[in-house]
Structure 1
Amino acid sequence: MTLSRFRDSARYWRTPLLPGADLLTAEYHDHTFTPHWHEAYTIPVIEDGAECYHYRGAQHVAEAGSVPVINPGEVHTGSRAVDEGWRYRVMYVPVDYLHTLAGEIAGRAQPLPWFDAEVIRDADLARRLSRAHQLLEADADRRRTEFALVPNASHALDAPQPDLLAVEGALLDALSTLLTRHARTREARLESTANEPRVEIMKALLAADLTEPLRVADLAQAVGLSPFHATRLFTQATGLPPHAWRTQLRLQRALGPLRAGASVAEVAAASGFTDQSHFTRHFRRMFGVPPGRWQAN
């Protein structure tokens, strides 16, 4: 029996019920995510098919019913693991939101939550995450419809209103279940090493002005190392060479202006890309859709 394959289709959207987050409903077959990172916690639930990805020095496979969480700032890839591809729902949850929730659960301040590299196989958690995501999406669709019907607001008022307590309750239930069952803390990862200040100096230099041309020699001089050793140290610490790390930062910084309505061409120039096509190519590799479509969702 030949299984029908998924198509490359992605929809990014947002909701005021999870401030600062991006959410994704997608299926992929041909698309491959190149090495990249996110500033938020990446919390997917695989609903069908299977995804393979490289993360923390190992190859992982996440099948239907699994939850392959990626910590913020950690480099990873993504592609199909089975012939038909994979379908999933993803929450990109801001660090502050999940950190605050961890403290509320414990009743006191908590270290930053962190998750092991292994795929989480917890069918009950997967169901909770999928349900919360579906409810949030339905509410977002309702809000979009009401906004479109502003000239006929009476029609919007006649539409059935969701129980927002139930939607928010499902979200808090899913994320608190994830935290209480599977989160660790990052304390061990924050132990200082002699090279960490050098890496932070290089990051700061790369991030200071994203339109400013830089050379490896500039980074090396700032930390007192040879260009070879500076590049090797940075790559070992972050998982990406300096130019690729800076490209990822440019893409992350581009999301705010796109969300605010700036044109793709304006954002490309302000983010330091050579032209709009260069920006679009890198954006699509990271987010699975071109920036114009991401902006329109």
Structure 2
Amino acid sequence: MTSPRFRDNARYWRTPLLPGADLLTAEYHDHAFTPHWHDAYTIPVIEAGAEAYRYRGSRHVAEAGSVPIINPGELHTGSRAMDEGWRYRVMYAPVEFLHTLAENIAGCAQPLPWFDADVIRDRDLALRLSHAHRLLEANGDPLAAETAMLDALSTLLVRYGRTRPATLPLAHDDARVVTMKEQLASDLSAPLKLADLADTVGLSQFHAARLFAKVTGLPPHAWRNQVRLQRSLGPLRAGASVADVAAANGFTDQSHFTRHFRRMFGVPPGRWQSS
């Protein structure tokens, strides 16, 4: 007997108990997330079904009871790994919050927490994260919810928190990519041609585009759209209209913005905002 398939349904929400965080309760069947990143730590717990995603050059499958952590700023995708789809709960925990919690646990200064690419298969941790997420969503006893949240996140940090591997000094090509990123992100509403990027770093258009995609995993226009989407969240939270946010961040029109937003967040911006 086959299990009933999940449907595309997502709800984003926030709680004062985890300041600055977005939280997600969702199930998906048809939706597939295009390559994207988040500025926060992505902390999901798969409750049913299974999700497939590409991360750090490999394909991973996270089944029910697993915790597939994504570090901030790291490119990844997401889609169903089985016919039924998947259901999960996600905390997008701000970097500063998790860093402070790590320092509180250690009782001294700590580097930013970092997590290995492998899917975490720890049933106890998954149950703690799911329990905390449900209490936060229920908006009931704040003492119980906050206690459960800190218990779950501290368990994650103690068991699986690592230090990010030391990075080598920037090579000449990496420095060129940094320069191109700065130009792409400086004024998101201004039109920009590939020739402008190439001239800035002294390369041909072909070589500039190829270098950028090799280092970042995205072509320049797609990387720029990701920055636009990240910067759109603050104004949307503040109540700005979707049309105004789209125009301010350089999207050609509201439908263009909505299409890209949905690919990244699984819901259109108006629905994300109303949540």
Distance in 2 (alpha carbons) for counterparts of 1:112 and 1:242: 28
Report what 1:192 is aligned to.
Answer: 169
- The farther-off stretch of 102-111 and 1-10 is 102-111
Report what 1:291 is aligned to.
Answer: 269
Question: How far off is 1:236 after superposition?
Answer: 2.2
Distance in 2 (alpha carbons) for counterparts of 1:114 and 1:238: 19
Distance in 2 (alpha carbons) for counterparts of 1:132 and 1:208: 39
Deviation digits for residues 144-196 of structure 1, max 9, x if unmatched?
xxxxxxxxxxxxxxxxxx432221111111111111111211142x3322133
- Aligned mate of 2:207, from 215, 218, 229: 229
Alignment map for 1:141-220 (pairs within 5 Å)? 162-188=140-166, 190-194=167-171, 195-220=173-198
Distance in 1 (alpha carbons) for counterparts of 2:104 and 2:209: 41
Alignment map for 1:87-102 (pairs within 5 Å)? 87-102=87-102
1:243 aligns with 2:221: yes
Distance in 1 (alpha carbons) for counterparts of 2:182 and 2:106: 34
Question: How far off is 1:96 after superposition?
Answer: 1.2
Distance in 1 (alpha carbons) for counterparts of 2:46 and 2:162: 22
Deviation digits for residues 45-104 of structure 1, max 9, x if unmatched?
000000001111111100000000111111111111111110000011111111121122
Distance in 1 (alpha carbons) for counterparts of 2:95 and 2:180: 23
Question: How far off is 1:201 after superposition?
Answer: 1.6
Distance in 2 (alpha carbons) for counterparts of 1:216 and 1:255: 27
Report what 2:14 is aligned to.
Answer: 14
Question: How far off is 1:212 after superposition?
Answer: 0.7
Give the number of equivalent residue pairs. 274
Distance in 2 (alpha carbons) for counterparts of 1:227 and 1:184: 39
Report what 1:53 is aligned to.
Answer: 53
- Runs of 4+ residues deviating >3 angstroms: none
Report what 1:118 is aligned to.
Answer: 118
Larger Rg belongs to: 1
Quote the RMSD (CA, aligned, Å). 1.2
Distance in 1 (alpha carbons) for counterparts of 2:56 and 2:195: 28
Distance in 2 (alpha carbons) for counterparts of 1:233 and 1:193: 14
Higher helix share: 1
* Identical aligned residues as a percent: 77
TM-score, normalization by structure 2:
0.96
Report what 1:2 is aligned to.
Answer: 2
Amino acid across the alignment from 1:109:
A
Question: How far off is 1:218 after superposition?
Answer: 1.5
In structure 2, the CA distance between the partners of 1:108 and 1:225, relative to structure 1 (3 Å rule), is farther
1:273–1:279 contact (8 Å) kept in structure 2? yes
Distance in 2 (alpha carbons) for counterparts of 1:40 and 1:222: 30
Amino acid across the alignment from 1:106:
A
Amino acid across the alignment from 1:245:
W
Report what 1:275 is aligned to.
Answer: 253
Unaligned runs of 5+ in 1: 140-161
In structure 2, the CA distance between the partners of 1:199 and 1:108, relative to structure 1 (3 Å rule), is farther
Question: How far off is 1:237 after superposition?
Answer: 2.1
Question: How far off is 1:231 after superposition?
Answer: 2.0
Question: How far off is 1:224 after superposition?
Answer: 2.5
Unaligned runs of 5+ in 2: none
